[in-house]
Structure 1
Amino acid sequence: MVNTYSFDCTACGKCCNSPPAMSLRELFGHRDLFVGCIALGRVRRDANTPLHAFPVDEANTITITTLALDYSSIGRCPALADDGLCSLHVKGKPDQCIAVPLDPLVPDHLQHAVLAQRSTGAGWIGAQCIRPGEHAEAMLLRGNEIVDEEAKAAVQRRRAAMLIERDLWSAAIFNDLSREFDQPRRMLAMLPEYGYRTIPIVPALLAIGVMSTELAQICIAYIDAQRSLIQRNVTQAMQRRCLDDRPMTQTLRSFADALVHARVRLAELPPRAVSAPLVRKAEAWLLG
């Protein structure tokens, strides 16, 4: 099997056909562009299981992360410019995007399999950006090592962000799920075998917002921006009159309703001073 690949972006936009997976911090930074949600996924438990995953039983783990969501009928990322380039190059491009075509969720020694699949996958055919072998000034992967420094740094930042946010909010959500579903098989039953289940981002906001007054304020500001963005996106969908958009419209409206209730809860919280180390960590991560 080929384990050396080069990558030379052609700005064709094929890899920008949907919004990316993003950390909560990145979603806060782009609150007016991306609708955020929580993604619950099932991952097999083995030596290659991501470090941010939560063990459920001897064979399974679940991941709890954030990502951006939009109408699939649009077929493009909201940040994709008309020239095929990302409009966020100088405005905080998400690490998941900088890492493309690598997958930060996959260990380095298996990235060659990711590149092999993506070089021939239906969504990538014709892109001609992923090439097996070594090509001058375009080297990406050599054996088990990511050799492109920018991509390597992005992969490491993305992995680090998922571990940080595991401590800050996703662990609390996992604990809530564990209490709600007292048996592992019941928890797994709510998740698709492949892909993920999306839910409103509200549990993450509440887990963060209760920590301190400043964190509650940034969560409220995020909620206000998200409600406006959702309204704009739904209005545009109504104007397109595409039947395929209806399920996403219903999803976004349910997200907006959940955000309204979350805002009320956060606004009613009494003033809170920073004390615990976890709170200081959260403020440094989300406010710094």
Structure 2
Amino acid sequence: MTLAELFRHPDRFIGCIAIGRVARRRPGERLRVGRHEALLDEADCAAFDGLAETLLYRPGDTFSIVAQGFDYPSLARCPALADDGRCAIHLKGKPLTCEVVPLDPLVPDHLQHLVLAERGDSAVYAGSACIQEGTRDDLALLVDEGRIADLHAQHALARRRRALEEERSIWTQAVFDALRAELFDSPAALARIPPGGFLTISLVPALLSVAAASARCRALCIDYIDSQLALIERCIAQALTRRRLDDRPVTQQLRGFANAYRHAKARLFDAGTLEKDHGEPAARPDIEAYLSSAVQ
């Protein structure tokens, strides 16, 4: 999700930051999924590098920094899923990443057939039969001969990539800079991020970054924190009634998120007091417009 999408749904999605380790591709590398494979050449790697330069961070290894919705995996459902199985926010600010599924914005278009093959073989899609090879009279073709054949999918991928690039200017670059010394330049800390996996941390570094843009942004962040604290409390209470052992680590992490939010809220109130005494720092109208549009 984007930070704006989290602000649009503060009572539904618990926000967090997911830091992922992304494999750097090399010429001669062979990507194989089932009977599908690709031997990467210089052009393929240049396409991966082009996406990485605008959407990822490369202090040595390559990393993604994204906002994400967080919930108990044991629930095995999206928080926006209604009782009838439909999306409850389809017409009310549905996250753009949902439109991109099952494609991957971090993979060049001409290799998306490998993404589909992997998705089709994964447990996530098992039994759904929603990804099939070949043509059918009743369905449009999604990927065909190394190109995205479906126009809606083309546009969704392009919009998601633009959104990730905008996130970089709004907050992810600032978070990368803030965490570089203690995380990205520390081999011991980086060991916490598994290859192909994510390190999930509180959204607080992002909030402190955008809150510094203006008094309006600070107020929006405080409101968001209040909503998140109430949502986390409800989610933990529901988990305690389920009495599942595998929920316990998530409950512990959510309590950590809540504690971080309380400390951040105190810092934001202190920052407001300082600004009244000494004046506001240089404003970032782009960030204020970004957050304000999310909550209208």
TM class by smaller structure: 0.7 to 0.9
Match for residue 55 of structure 2?
52
Match for residue 98 of structure 2?
97
Secondary structure of the residue aligned to 2:195 is coil
- Please tell me the residue identity of whatever aligns with 1:28: F
TM-fit CA distance, 1:175: 1.4
Matched, 1:37 2:16: yes
TM-fit CA distance, 1:212: 0.5
TM-fit CA distance, 1:55: 1.0
TM-fit CA distance, 1:284: 2.3
TM-fit CA distance, 1:263: 0.8
Q: 1:110 to 1:175 in 2, by over 3 A?
A: same
- Structure 1-normalised TM-score? 0.85
- Quote the Cα distance in structure 2 between the aligned partners of 1:44 and 1:121: 19
- Give the unaligned 5+ runs of structure 2: 26-44
> Which segment is superposed worse, 36-45 or 152-161?
152-161
Identical counterparts, % of pairs? 46
TM-fit CA distance, 1:232: 0.3
TM-fit CA distance, 1:135: 2.6
TM-fit CA distance, 1:147: 2.7
User: Which of structures 1 and 2 has the bigger CA Rg?
Assistant: 2
Match for residue 61 of structure 1?
62
- Quote the Cα distance in structure 2 between the aligned partners of 1:283 and 1:145: 38
Q: 1:35 to 1:181 in 2, by over 3 A?
A: closer
Residue correspondence of structure 1 range 274-285 to structure 2 within 5 A: 275=282, 279-285=284-290
Matched, 1:145 2:124: no
- Please tell me the residue identity of whatever aligns with 1:281: D
- Quote the Cα distance in structure 1 between the aligned partners of 2:233 and 2:183: 34
Output the aligned Cα RMSD.
Answer: 1.9
Contact 1:96 1:104 in 2 (8 A): no
Match for residue 242 of structure 2?
240
- Quote the Cα distance in structure 2 between the aligned partners of 1:157 and 1:268: 37
- Please tell me the residue identity of whatever aligns with 2:104: D
Match for residue 267 of structure 1?
269
Q: Higher helix share goes to which structure? A: 2
Partner of residue 203 from structure 1, selected from 197, 202, 205: 205
Secondary structure of the residue aligned to 2:125 is coil
- Structure 2-normalised TM-score? 0.83
Deviation per residue, 1:107-132 (Å, 9 max, x gap):
21111001111122222122112121
- Quote the Cα distance in structure 2 between the aligned partners of 1:169 and 1:266: 17
> Which segment is superposed worse, 133-142 or 63-72?
133-142
Secondary structure of the residue aligned to 1:63 is strand
- Give the unaligned 5+ runs of structure 1: 1-21
Contact 2:184 2:190 in 1 (8 A): no
Partner of residue 177 from structure 2, selected from 160, 175, 178: 175
> Which segment is superposed worse, 152-161 or 172-181?
172-181
TM-fit CA distance, 1:220: 0.8
Secondary structure of the residue aligned to 1:84 is coil
Aligned residues: 263
Match for residue 28 of structure 2?
none
- Quote the Cα distance in structure 1 between the aligned partners of 2:70 and 2:121: 25
Secondary structure of the residue aligned to 2:230 is helix
Deviation per residue, 1:171-204 (Å, 9 max, x gap):
1221122233584634532321221000000000
Contact 2:213 2:285 in 1 (8 A): no
